[in-house]
Amino acid sequence: MKLNWDIRTRVLIVALVPTLVLGVLLTALLTFSRISDLEEALTQRGQALARQLAATAEYGLFSGNRDALQRLAASALNAADLYGVAIYDRDGSLMAVSGLQTHPAGSSTPPSQADVQAISSQMLRIAEPVRHSHSLEDDPYTLTGVVPAEDRALGEVVVLISRETLENRKLSQIATAFTTLVLVLAGSIALSVLMSSSVSTPIQRIAQAMADIGRGNLTTRVPIEGRGSLRRLAEGVNEMAGHLAVARGNMEQRISAATLQLRERTEEAERANMAKSRFLAAASHDLRQPMHALGLFIADLSRKEHTPDTRLLIERIAASAEAMENLLDSLLDISKLDAGVVSSAPRSFALGPLFERIGNDYTHAAQERGLRLRVRSTQLWIHSDPLLFERILINLVGNALRYTPKGSIMLAARKRGDHVLIEVRDSGLGIAPENQASIFVEFVQLDNPARDRSKGLGLGLAIVRRLADLLYHPITLRSEPGRGSVFGVVAPLVPAEASYHSQPLPEQDFLGRIIAMVDDDALAQESLAGLLRAWGCFVVASDSLQGILDALEEMELEPEVVVSDYRLPGEHTGLDIIANMRGRFGAHLPALLLSGDTGPETLQEATSRGVPLLHKPVRPAKLRAALAHLLNSRNTQTTTPAVRNEAL
């Protein structure tokens, strides 16, 4: 475990621990040495008394004079701390005793070992033999140098010395040592605290000042105190704070100037963007109106009989018009995705019909380019927005067709855990790793420096990226130059379920359908009315609300579908006309709104009122599909419009 001790605690520990250990060791050593000296002194004193009594008792033991020995034992008790004296002969018989008994009461034999241990726990027992006073050198008749035992030891003198004084001195010595140790530690603690304060206090002040500076308080200064490294450190901190304060002042001035400049440029850019938006909105509306009429005229014209040369000319005109419509649609898609007005309606649906539809739509285009489009059938279901997801796959397949000069293209789906990976593989040119991120940017085309229109506008993958982000579907890409590319979309896997998909009405089912149409543009009105009549519809057209109501009343007709332009002369919009018509002919009257406005406000307003919206120019196929859904919704008497607002 890591201990987070501050510097003062660490200084105290460094100062106290060695002092404490050294003080305890020295005190213990000196105390035990002193106690050992006291015990040794008591033992030596007892031995001296015993030797003195042994020398004095030699004659009494030699002569067997018990009275002299008793007087000697009694007189010896006058010595300090001497509690008992006993004198034994060479046979161990007690000759004299005085003071504390050293043998069992009434017995003349020496004490047992147990008695000796009991006495030794309280007294110091010292035995000294009594010997002859002459030595071997004084006996000229002893030739061998060995004196018999009975000549050497006449008996034994035993003295008992009290240990009480010794124990008292031990306790006194221990108390003195402990007191000394406490005083030394107290002095060490006081000195350590003083020294740690002199070191830690300046460091703590510096640390606090650094913390204040870190929080932005650059006016903080450290008191200059002490000398040496701490003084230089405090001076350095103060100098650093001063430099930082000056630098921050300069930075704030630069930031203020840059912010002011940025605000001015932002306001200028916003004004320019607003002017551009107004210009694009007006230009888009003005361009879409004639393009809408042109497309409908071409569709109506292509239904008639023509010579081969005229038919070829009509097809080229239609191709040019379609290219212009594709450009306008792509720009509209990008603007709507960036504006955030495209909403998703995810649900569970099968991939099989979607794959089949894409295969049917693009097989002919692939064959015209000399390519092979393979679509692997699948039974998998995913959870996503069907319309937006279909647009993702259409853009990926279209991109593969444009950038694959030869070979094949495959559309397949595989399970990946609880997700499905839908891949579009091609054998095209491939994409270098450093360019793989940039291909999702608007108008980026790596292999189209001449801006060949047949290779698109560089908006398809940008739309794919935005749609995938909107649906939270990750996009994958594996590609190598010369080895083709594999684009993938990951979507959640769901269990298969029964579903019902309404089918567009066949052409003959439009026969006799009553369509009320309101449009103030003469060309748009004429072209749309002509196309609807060519489909077999009965069209009542006008340029205002009152005009359409008067015409329906005059003919005594009730419309089955209302088709209105959004922007009309006067105070009424197309949504107002639809609301009025529903008030007269029923709240469930199917209605379709057409508009050349590409701003998000129109789409949001139409969505809030539950009215499907198609942006001009409207392709005949899309218009036909929308009308088919609306008529189906009328036949099934549903309360919710069957056509979603045009997301893309």
Question: What's the CATH code of the domain at 463?
Answer: 3.30.565.10
Chain mean pLDDT for the chain: 78
pLDDT at 382: 94
Tell me the per-residue pLDDT of 241-259, one tens digit each, with 9 for 90 and over.
888 888 888 888 889 888 8
Q: Which of 494, 529, 550 is the last residue of a domain?
A: 494
In this structure, the answer to whether residues 521 and 646 fall within a common structural domain is: yes
Specify whether the CB–CB gap between 432 and 481 falls below 8 A: yes
178 pLDDT exceeds 50? yes
In this structure, the answer to whether residues 516 and 622 fall within a common structural domain is: yes
pLDDT at 63: 85
501 pLDDT exceeds 60? no
Q: Which of 466, 494, 522 is the last residue of a domain?
A: 494
Q: Establish if 217 belongs to a structural domain.
A: no
Could you tell me which residue, 421 or 94, shows the higher pLDDT?
A: 421
Instruction: Return the HEC string of 155-218.
Output: EEEEEEEECHHHHHHHHHHHHHHHHHHHHHHHHHHHHHHHHHHHHHHHHHHHHHHHHHHHCCCC
pLDDT at 296: 72
SS3 572: coil
Q: Which of 456-460, 484-488, 607-611 has the lowest mean pLDDT?
A: 456-460
In this structure, the answer to whether residues 480 and 526 fall within a common structural domain is: no
Q: Establish if 499 belongs to a structural domain.
A: no
The total of structural domains in the chain comes to 2
Q: Please tell me the distance from the alpha carbon of residue 209 to that of residue 541, in angstroms, as a whole number.
A: 83
Could you tell me which residue, 275 or 173, shows the higher pLDDT?
A: 173
Q: Please tell me the distance from the alpha carbon of residue 513 to that of residue 536, in angstroms, as a whole number.
A: 7
pLDDT at 21: 82
- Helix-strand-coil percent breakdown of the chain, rounded to 5? 55, 15, 30
Residues of the domain holding 581:
253-304+505-648
Q: Which of 25-34, 37-46, 628-637 has the lowest mean pLDDT?
A: 628-637
Could you tell me which residue, 225 or 85, shows the higher pLDDT?
A: 85
In this structure, the answer to whether residues 517 and 643 fall within a common structural domain is: yes
586 pLDDT exceeds 60? yes
349 pLDDT exceeds 70? yes
Tell me the per-residue pLDDT of 310-340, one tens digit each, with 9 for 90 and over.
878 887 787 677 666 666 666 666 666 655 6
Q: Establish if 622 belongs to a structural domain.
A: yes
Q: Which of 467, 494, 521 is the last residue of a domain?
A: 494
Q: Establish if 563 belongs to a structural domain.
A: yes
Q: Establish if 98 belongs to a structural domain.
A: no
Instruction: For residue 106, give the DSSP letter.
Output: T
Q: How much is the average pLDDT of 28-52?
A: 85
451 pLDDT exceeds 50? no
Residue pointed to by tokens 């080895």: 483
106 pLDDT exceeds 50? no
- For residue 72, is it left (φ>0), alpha (ψ between -120 and 50) or beta? alpha
Q: pLDDT grade, residue 502 (50/70/90)?
A: very low
Q: Establish if 518 belongs to a structural domain.
A: yes
Q: Establish if 97 belongs to a structural domain.
A: no
pLDDT at 28: 83
